[in-house]
Structure 1
Amino acid sequence: MKDTTKMMRRVDRVLKGEETMEGAGVRLKRVLGRDERSTLDPFLMLDMFESDDPRDYQAGFPAHPHRGIETVTYMLKGEMEHGDSTGTRGLIGPGEAQWMTAGSGIIHQEMPVVSSEGINGLQLWVNLPQRAKMKRPQYRDVRKDSIKKVDLGDGVEARIIAGELEGSAGPVRDLESDIQFFDVVMNPGSTVSLNVPRGRTSFALVLDGAASFEPGGSPVKKGEAAVFADGDSVQAGASDRGARFLLISGDPLNEPVFWRGPIVVNSQEELDRTFEELRNGTFVK
């Protein structure tokens, strides 16, 4: 018997990125984290950076602290070098990711590699639950050959970075929150339905082309994010130029958020104590 209880997720709103400057002078577009309506528990912030001009990105993101969050850097073009206070070093290129759990505190830097092809990528901040705010920092460099591709039919393919899809799991596992992070590529005019467990916060960030996420809906374009209401699945239809988007979802934490710069904790007292630790040199545990 057909299951009639399944409900398609409708588009609650579409977020458009806002130009800003971060790090030592990197031009980027902030899609999540600009205001209360664009902070989606547990997703705090999402920045996109794309340029062929080294002056827009070569200054990079020199050494800076993080506590209480995970940062997910995903590269589409070019390379990013990273290093931190634990002595970890790495380099990620197109189609690769760096999933960093800052936990109790880490000081790291991310420096774009200047090349003739330029750079294109994004970084997502995922809040950690209170129980994991002070856990030991951890890195996961996600290599391209470790990411499974799933053929979804009708000219649609998905790369699974985290979570499960069609019986396949992504390489990023053992997370404090159950996160889905899929990179979906659609041929022109194709359609797809993707399961997203009910109750999760979910959004789709369009990386290229355009897609509609409900019947008769307006196309969501490159650099925009469709935020979904609750339901069981996300429906997508590609434009005549095709589409590429990230489908990201996670369980909301429903915990207090006290946030200043790269520090995210659960109370003003914890926030004050963290900045005192930064001043007196006891931040890194």
Structure 2
Amino acid sequence: MSAIARLQRMNHGSHFRAFTLRGGEAAEPIDPFLAVDHAWISGPTFPPHPHAGFSAVSYLFPDSETGIDNRDSLGNRNLIQPGGLHWTAAGRGVVHEEVPAETGKTVHMLQVFINLPRDRQDAQPFALSIAPEDVPVVQLPGAKVRVPLGSFADARSPLVPPTDVSMLDISIEAGAEVRVPVAEGRIAFVMPINGEVWIDGQPYSLDEAKLPVNLPQGEDRVVTFCAKQGDARAVLFSGVPLRQPVYWQGPLALASAEALAEAIEAYQRGAFGKLQPR
């Protein structure tokens, strides 16, 4: 049987609201994921901030009213369009900022924190992006699966991230069903996005603010999605657990207390760099 996790409702000022999932010690039960925010953002919310030790991934749903103006201290600046994804592997440290491209319009997105293997946490930071038109899409009877990360059926994302994860954006029409295999040795969990989605015979929706984690283990695992009374959308996350400690302080997460202290000191002395003026 799957375990049930509760989503936390979070508001930050008047421009940010989210349903949030956080992993516990060593990121259980969603390791290698650290956290997922299903968010709606309608204005500048967070000032420039540091990251180190993990990857910050932004995925915009195709129904987002506007894009994200993304920039970092590596000199990258790009517009994340609705339907696109941007991956910032923070490594030894980077300063990052994201704001809606058009104030007053709402960004509908996932902000996903994904752990880095211990031996890559001190690596040079870098960024990966995929444009909406380059995200593979699998069309099924009454359903559509977008593949921004990982693979499904005969489709594979062109991105090769530093942590082995998959993220499938699944849209289902009423009465349709989608079956997704999950390889042995990978964790899997689902976040409902819109409507009521039935997962392995149980209904889930944002109204109840719960989701299934620790989806059944074993060979030949298949997760079944269906929509019974209306259209629905959900995202299936899966990945290979890293099984390493996680030491958090704000937007920094490292595999040891010593590495965390070193990252804090490096940020304070300016080693993460700085953003160029707008």
CA contact (8 A) 2:171 2:233 kept: yes
Give 1:192's match in structure 2, choosing from 178, 185, 195: 178
Q: Against the structure 1 CA distance between its residues 201 and 180, is the aligned structure 2 distance closer, same or farther, given a 3 Å change threshold?
A: same
Query: Per-residue CA shift, 1:101-144, capped at 9, x if unaligned?
Result: 11111111111123554221120000001011112211112101
The CA distance in 1 between the partners of 2:154 and 2:23, in whole Å, is: 36
CA contact (8 A) 1:104 1:284 kept: no
Correspondence list, 1:30-179, <5 A: 30-33=19-22, 40-50=30-40, 57-76=42-61, 77=64, 78-115=66-103, 117-152=105-140, 154-173=141-160, 175-179=161-165
Give 1:277's match in structure 2, choosing from 266, 271, 274: 266
CA contact (8 A) 2:79 2:101 kept: no
Sequence identity, in percent? 28
CA contact (8 A) 1:12 1:229 kept: no
- Secondary structure (helix, strand or coil) at the match of 2:162 reads coil
What's the offset of the Cα at 1:264? 1.0
What's the offset of the Cα at 1:198? 1.6
Q: Against the structure 1 CA distance between its residues 82 and 104, is the aligned structure 2 distance closer, same or farther, given a 3 Å change threshold?
A: same
Superposition CA RMSD, Å: 2.2
The CA distance in 1 between the partners of 2:136 and 2:59, in whole Å, is: 15
Q: Against the structure 1 CA distance between its residues 284 and 255, is the aligned structure 2 distance closer, same or farther, given a 3 Å change threshold?
A: farther
What's the offset of the Cα at 1:92? 1.1
Query: Per-residue CA shift, 1:150-179, capped at 9, x if unaligned?
Result: 123x31110111111112211222x22221
Give 1:221's match in structure 2, choosing from 205, 215, 218: 205
What's the offset of the Cα at 1:25? 6.8
The CA distance in 2 between the partners of 1:25 and 1:110, in whole Å, is: 16
Report how many residues are paired.
265
Query: Per-residue CA shift, 1:31-83, capped at 9, x if unaligned?
Result: 211755876211111112226xxxxx412322111111111111120211011
Q: Against the structure 1 CA distance between its residues 108 and 203, is the aligned structure 2 distance closer, same or farther, given a 3 Å change threshold?
A: same
CA contact (8 A) 1:274 1:283 kept: no
Residue segments in structure 2 that go unaligned for 5+ positions in a row: none
Aligned match of 1:182: 168
CA contact (8 A) 1:74 1:123 kept: yes
Query: Per-residue CA shift, 1:240-277, capped at 9, x if unaligned?
Result: 11211111100110011111111111111111121112
